[in-house]
Amino acid sequence: MNEPSSVPEQVDAVVVGAGFSGLYMLYRLRQLGMSVKVFDSAGDVGGTWYWNRYPGARCDVPTTDYAYSFDPELEKAWTWSEKYATQPEILDYLRFVADRYGLRSDIEFSATVTSARWDEQEKRWRITIGCGTEMRCRYYVMATGCLSLPKSPDIEGADRFAGQVYFTSRWPHEGADLTGQRVAVIGTGSSGIQSIPLIARQASQLTVFQRTANFSIPAHNGPASADRLKQLGGDRDGYRHAARWSRGGIPMEPTDVLGVTAGEAVRRERFEAAWELGELFGILNVFADQAVDPASNDIVAEMIREKIRSIVKDPETAEMLSPKGHYFGTKRPCLDTGYFETYNLPHVRLVDLRKQPIVSITEDGIETADESFGFDAIVYATGFDAMTGPLVAADVAGRDGLSLKEKWAAGPSTYLGLMTAGYPNFFMLTGPGSPSVLSNMTVSIEQHVDWVAGCLKDMREEGFETIEPTTLAESGWNQHVQDCAAITLLPTANSWYMGANVPGKPRVFMPYIGGVNAYRQACDDIVGQGYLGFRMTGPGGDRCRDGVIRRMQPDVAMVLEFLAAMGLPPMETLPPADARALMAATAATRPPGPKVGEVTDGAIPGPSGDLPYRLYRPAGPPEGLRPLVVYFHGGGWVLGNLDSDDPLCRDLCERSGAVVVSVNYRHAPEARFPAAALDAFAAVQWADANALELGGIPGQLAVAGWSAGANIATVACQLARGAGGPHISGQVLICPVVDSDMTRLSYEENGDGYILTTALMRWFWDHYADPADRSEPRAAPLRGDLHGLPPTCIVAADFDPLRDEGVAYARALEAAGVPVRLTRARGHTHTSVTMVGTVISGAPVRAEIAEALKNFFPSAEPLEHARQRR
């Protein structure tokens, strides 16, 4: 322990924590010429690597990558001995770093920060250390780590045990000699899995108590990977740059092989290669879709279970060790050295706590529901109150005295995982809402430290003293974090990412899963936009550019990037025939949509010739009658056909349980206005007249359409109302064209860059209708008489030029007394909601559409009643 230093009363910055984050933060703040004080409860530097001294403790990111990269000279001065270094070696490294840069003089050890209060008068933080020493500082940085607050064992009688008790996260510095002892290990997360093989070597009997079987793959430890060393040696800067702009913080080519479509040989080959490589990011990248598609995930999961069964000789133990009930990767997978093999040893036994829960810990052992066990030592490998735990434990109170604990009662709320509104000048390194534990932490730590240092430098140069995010920016970021998680399987698990390991902790997915690269880009963009979403104040005045940095759904953004990279010609530059061919070619490569009971093609007699239709019947008894939905595809009256919206029709049919009849109407420019609208009306009349033959319940007919298809769907409703029939129970209008006025704000905001552009809309109108006709209600239904129209569901997408006319139509319908459900497709474009199987975030919107459809109809009548009514 250092001698207690004469604590200056006031410094520029206080940093809590002297692990990877705190050490580098100190280094960077000093470079800015700031006075800094670092506090750590630990007796030395190292953080995680100071505390976690259990046998087998190692990193699980290769050490070539799990190290600082800010100083090339440091990299030259240190050589790692293994692919995955041990805890003592990593601790030595951090001590070496502290000494090399003379950091210790500003660090006080064995000093716990117990509270921090923002003083609005002084514009400073008042920090309390230990039992009462106070400090004041302008900037308060929590480098307190994501996995630094051990979870206390919530087991009855835990303090009663008379033998030795060990916590993997607080292992004695002098080590623990377990030779010849009867040892219990409780917990099979990362620390348990790393320590169990080594504890088994000493113990005379080892009993492992497992609540959840975890996925683990062999680390194949040894010398550092020759391939990585070669890349680093050849081009260090390039390698580090690639790491910074990778998804996980390690240079790696993401695969585009889909588990669901790959052949068996490819699947096996990719899995075996990842198993042999022994790297977490490798096994998480066997297939591009394994984190989002349950079927793909299960292929990898089952191959791992196969491996476990092949290693563990006792089938019952193998079964207990085979993870079930959570998708692979939704809890942090482990890297091990001989973990599963350990269970083949005669003195090692596994107890499944789901079958045989612990009743209590006794003076000399553990009582389960079925058995009493005697032990000399109990090792708790029970994990951490992750991410938020150390932050709220340090009792931080912001501007209005509100504690972080209170603010985060329903889950963490941050801007970028770096700051939180109401807590000026308070920074969190790798806080919730940043990639943190889903990444190679050293890369994420350096990025955060660099960002904070850059921010403080900019503030000083521009004369600002305080910085704080706005609530708008923060809630936008929280939403983005959740949107990114929601398209993956990760929130489905009871993981510590979700806070599920701590009783009473709110279930919120805490880390940012959008990738280190996407995250870095967001942080850079925020700075590039004048610190978007931050309020800065100082003697020179206030500055606040309020806004949300990422409003688009992450998978929609990916689709846009993908399309941009393809460099396709803009549709409006092509003749209609070529545009149709291009659309058909792209449609051929997309996922087919869900299976339905039956799909049949037919023809409807239209006003001037037959109109092809495709009927989708939901799964279920073929004789059962269902509500009927007549659907019209999108494509600006020019493009599209029965195939173009096929996945969407399947999805609508499957979700709503209705029979969907998709009608191919005449297209422009061959058949101009009002051909498509007249065809739509004819199709609706025909469907109504032939409901029973189509499997529909007579009188239960709705219309639906997307884009221009929604235009003719609602025109058909207006015509039916005018003609006194048929009766239409409801209309679903997905991103409809309802007006020819292209001056609304949404055209200005979204007219370029989101697939449907202003130029393309103009091209569509020019092909469809003469300018003189465009204000006619059969072209611009918003301008028609809206009284007496059926209940309506309108979907308006944020990034659609047509957004505002959809909203205007909803308002106008409401004003005319029509019941309206306006569904906002948050973060979507004109096309993305319809991209079934590609854009996962569209699914909740389509679920709402299906719900609206169901609500149009009274509950289904029994078949006989319907027949009789007819």
Maximum separation of any 2 CA atoms in the chain, in Å: 96
Q: Which of 189, 241, 194, 217 has the alpha carbon at shortest distance from 65?
A: 241
In 63-146, at which residue ranges do the beta strands (DSSP E only) sit? 107-108, 113-119, 124-129, 133-142
Query: Using the rule CB under 6 A, is 59 a contact of ligand FAD?
Result: yes
Closest CB to ligand FAD among residues 440, 714:
440
* Shortest CB 138 distance to ligand FAD, Å: 19
Contact 626, 866 (CB under 8 A): no
Separation of alpha carbons 269 and 266, rounded Å: 5
Pick the stretch among 17-25, 307-315, 342-350, 636-644 that binds ligand FAD (CB under 6 A).
17-25
> If you search the block for the tokens 């041990």, which residue do you land on?
86
Q: Where are the beta strands (DSSP E) in 415-571?
A: 426-428, 466-469, 534-538, 541-544
116 binds ligand FAD (CB under 6 A): no
Q: Which residues contact 652 (CB under 8 A, 6 or more apart)?
A: 616, 629, 631, 658, 660, 704, 846, 849, 850, 853
* Shortest Å distance, C-beta 116 to ligand FAD: 9
Q: Which of 257, 260, 254 is nearest to 837 (CA)?
A: 260
Query: Out of 29, 44, 47, 790, which residue is the one contacting ligand FAD (CB under 6 A)?
Result: 47
Run of H or E residues at 206:
strand 205-210
- Contacting range for ligand FAD; rule: CB under 6 A; set: 58-66, 411-419, 509-517, 790-798: 58-66
For β-strands 792-799 and 730-734, DSSP reports them as parallel
39 touches ligand FAD by CB under 6 A: yes
| Sign of the CA dihedral with 72 first, then 77, 82, and 87 last | negative
Residue 147 touching ligand FAD (CB under 6 A): yes
Among residues 14, 15, 16, 682, which is the contact residue for ligand FAD, using CB under 6 A?
16
Among 26, 127, 321, 394, binds ligand FAD (CB under 6 A): 394
The residue within the footprint of ligand FAD, chosen from 13, 36, 44, 48 (CB under 6 A), is: 48
Cβ 513 vs Cβ 490: under 8 Å: yes
Stretch that binds ligand FAD, among 26-34, 37-45, 301-309, 799-807 (CB under 6 A): 37-45
- Check binding of 451 to ligand FAD (CB under 6 A): no
Report in angstroms how near the CB of residue 561 gets to ligand FAD at its nearest: 27
DSSP-derived pairing of the beta strands 205-210 and 182-186: parallel
Q: How far, in Å, CA of 508 to CA of 120, rounded?
A: 31
By beta-carbon proximity to ligand FAD, the closer residue of 428 and 836 is 428
Long-range Cβ pairs for the range 718-726 (8 Å, 24+): 718/777, 718/778, 718/781, 718/784, 718/785, 718/786, 718/789, 719/677, 719/681, 719/778, 720/681, 720/684, 720/685, 721/788, 721/789, 725/688, 726/684, 726/685, 726/688, 726/689, 726/701
Q: Which is nearer to ligand FAD, 170 or 354 (CB)?
A: 170
Q: Within 163-202, which residues bind ligand FAD (CB under 6 A)?
A: 191
**Can residue 145 be called a binding residue for ligand FAD (CB under 6 A)?**
yes
CB-wise, 68 or 509, nearer to ligand FAD? 68
Residue 107 token pair:
């660090």
Pick the binder of ligand FAD from 10, 35, 112, 202 (CB under 6 A).
112
Helical spans, DSSP H, in 32-139: 48-51, 72-77, 87-100
Shortest reach from residue 760's CB to ligand FAD, in Å: 46
Nearer to ligand FAD, 51 or 768 (CB): 51
In the complex, minimum distance from the CB of residue 432 to ligand FAD, in angstroms, rounded to a whole number: 13
Residue 150 touches ligand FAD, criterion: CB under 6 A: no
Q: How near is the Cβ of 391 to ligand FAD at its closest, in Å?
A: 8
In the Cβ-directed half-sphere of 811, how many Cα atoms lie within 13 Å?
6
Nearer to ligand FAD, 250 or 813 (CB): 250
- Residue 339 binding ligand FAD, by CB under 6 A: no
Element (H, E) at 859: none
CB 378 within 8 A of CB 165: yes
Considering beta carbons, is residue 52 or 216 the nearer one to ligand FAD?
52
Q: Of the candidates 430, 685, 746, 757, which one interacts with ligand FAD according to CB under 6 A?
A: 430
Interaction between residue 418 and ligand FAD (CB under 6 A): no
Contact segment (CB under 6 A) with ligand FAD among 45-53, 74-82, 367-375, 707-715 equals: 45-53
Number of residues that bind ligand FAD (CB under 6 A): 36
Indicate whether 571 belongs to the interface with ligand FAD (CB under 6 A): no
Among 36, 55, 64, 66, binds ligand FAD (CB under 6 A): 66
- For residues 95 and 23, what is the distance between their CA atoms, to the nearest angstrom? 10
Task: Please answer whether residues 650 and 687 qualify as being in contact, where contact means their C-beta atoms are separated by less than 8 angstroms.
Answer: no
Min dist. Cβ of residue 408 to ligand FAD (A): 16
831 binds ligand FAD (CB under 6 A): no
Q: Least CB distance from residue 163 to ligand FAD, whole Å?
A: 24
Instruction: With contacts defined by CB under 6 A, name the span among 47-55, 265-273, 763-771, 781-789 that binds ligand FAD.
Output: 47-55
Distance CA 703, CA 768 (A): 21
DSSP 540: T
Nearer to ligand FAD, 83 or 124 (CB): 83
321: phi > 0 → left, psi -120 to 50 → alpha, else beta; which?
Answer: alpha
Binder among 386, 441, 532, 825 for ligand FAD (CB under 6 A): 441
Q: Is 42 an interacting residue with respect to ligand FAD (CB under 6 A)?
A: yes
Of 17, 278, 323, 736, the residue at the interface with ligand FAD (CB under 6 A) is 17
Q: Choose which of 224, 445, 733, 761 interacts with ligand FAD (CB under 6 A).
A: 445
Minimum Å gap between C-beta 735 and ligand FAD is 43
Binder of ligand FAD out of 13, 15, 19, 481 (CB under 6 A): 19
Which DSSP letter does residue 824 get?
E
Counting contacts by CB under 6 A, is residue 20 touching ligand FAD? yes
Kindly give the pairing relationship between strand 396-397 and strand 113-119.
Answer: parallel
Whole-number minimum distance, CB 660 to ligand FAD, in Å? 49
Question: 114 is written with which tokens?
Answer: 């117990």
Closer CB to ligand FAD, residue 108 or residue 376?
108
For residue 578, the minimal CB distance to ligand FAD (Å) is: 50
We find the least distance from the C-beta atom of residue 336 to ligand FAD, in angstroms, to be 13
Q: Is 144 in the site for ligand FAD (CB under 6 A)?
A: yes
Q: Does 397 bind ligand FAD (CB under 6 A)?
A: no
| Amino acid, res. 418 | L
103 binds ligand FAD (CB under 6 A): no
Q: Which is nearer to ligand FAD, 74 or 584 (CB)?
A: 74
Give least dist CB 440 to ligand FAD, A.
5
Query: How do beta strands 534-538 and 541-544 pair?
Result: antiparallel
Q: Which two tokens stand for residue 737?
A: 């064209």
Torsion sign, CA atoms 631, 633, 637, 641: negative
306-312, long-range: CB within 8 Å, 24+ apart, which pairs?
A: 307/217, 307/275, 307/340, 308/340, 311/340, 311/341, 311/344, 312/340, 312/341, 312/343, 312/344
Q: Is 63 in the site for ligand FAD (CB under 6 A)?
A: no
Task: Return the number of the residue (7 or 755) whose C-beta is nearest ligand FAD.
Answer: 7
Q: Residue 390 interacts with ligand FAD (CB under 6 A)?
A: yes
- DSSP for 87-103 reads HHHHHHHHHHHHHHTT-
Contact footprint for ligand FAD (CB under 6 A): 16-22, 39-42, 47-48, 50, 52, 57, 59-61, 66, 112-113, 143-148, 191, 390, 394, 429-430, 440-441, 445
